[in-house]
Amino acid sequence: MPSDRPDPSEFLALAQRMLRGLLGDARGDEEPWAEATRSAREHREPSPERQLENLTFALATRAVEALEDLALNVAAIRQRLERTSTRTDGPTADGDDATGQ
């Protein structure tokens, strides 16, 4: 049964694109492979800025996962309500409808 409600997957895809846009440009114009090719002794512990970036990305990822879980729960509740409403929408045993007529 089609509905006019927005698709949760479209919302999640938009949220992921927005997060990539916000977090993707955090490193600027640095060469993508530059950090991987540096020697290991150059720095072992991430800088405070890098730690903040990592934590921000981890929190954003958790937020998107929570939204995905919420969307799945809403979809499951909607399905249950639709199933129960189709069972109760039929005429009652004495022929009355929901308005009592």
Q: Encode pLDDT of 37-74 as tens digits.
A: 665 555 578 888 989 999 999 999 999 999 999 999 99
Helices 8-24, 48-88: crossing angle, 10 deg rounding: 170
- CA distances, 7 to each of 22, 81, 87, 95 (Å): 23, 18, 25, 38
Question: For the whole model, what pTM was predicted?
Answer: 0.43
Q: Are 23 and 53 in contact, with CB atoms under 8 Å apart?
A: yes
Q: Has residue 28 got a pLDDT over 60?
A: no
Position 85 scores a pLDDT of: 87
* 66 closest CA partner among 6, 7, 4, 8: 8
Distance CA 63, CA 31 (A): 29
Residue 81 identity: L
